[in-house]
């Protein structure tokens, strides 16, 4: 029995794998006004489809649906099997409020209510 698989079949299997990853992923990377599907995301980077995504570099935003997850500085790593791999130089968790420059006690009051006469 031969274990040879033709190049056409390998290409079709890779295309089916990428299509499956794109369909199941909610993650996307935003660059300016454009956004592209993220195929896989891990602690140090992510991959996107190489054929449909231009070369990315610099500051990008990562979203899960409409939720802003991270703001990242990225560099291109390598292209393999139809995927372009990017690594984070810096990854900062996105927050919906400004950071405090002082310590806030967990049991501190949220607001001051005045008594009405």
Is the pLDDT at 47 greater than 90, yes or no?
yes
Of 78, 85, 81, 80, nearest to 10 by C-alpha is 81
Does residue 75 belong to any structural domain of this protein?
A: yes
Is the pLDDT at 54 greater than 70, yes or no?
yes
Does residue 42 belong to any structural domain of this protein?
A: yes
Is the pLDDT at 75 greater than 80, yes or no?
yes
Does residue 100 belong to any structural domain of this protein?
A: no
43: domain CATH number is 2.40.10.430
Distance, CA of 11 to chain centre: 25
pTM of the model: 0.72
* Number of domain units in the chain: 1
74 is in which domain, residue-wise?
A: 27-93
Radius of gyration, CA atoms only, the chain: 22
- In this prediction, residue 30 has a pLDDT band, given cuts at 50, 70 and 90, of very high
Does residue 7 belong to any structural domain of this protein?
A: no
């Amino acid at each position: 029995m031969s274990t040879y698989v033709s190049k056409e079949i390998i290409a079709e299997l890779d295309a089916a794998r990428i299509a499956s990853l794109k369909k199941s992923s909610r993650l996307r990377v935003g660059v300016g006004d454009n956004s592209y599907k993220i195929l896989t995301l891990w602690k140090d980077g992510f991959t996107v489809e190489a054929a449909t995504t231009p070369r990315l570099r610099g500051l990008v935003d990562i979203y899960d649906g409409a939720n802003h997850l991270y703001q990242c500085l990225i560099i291109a790593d390598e292209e393999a099997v139809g995927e372009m791999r990017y690594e984070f130089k810096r990854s900062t968790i996105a927050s919906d409020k400004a950071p405090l420059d002082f310590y806030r006690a967990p049991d501190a009051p949220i607001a001051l209510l005045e008594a009405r006469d």
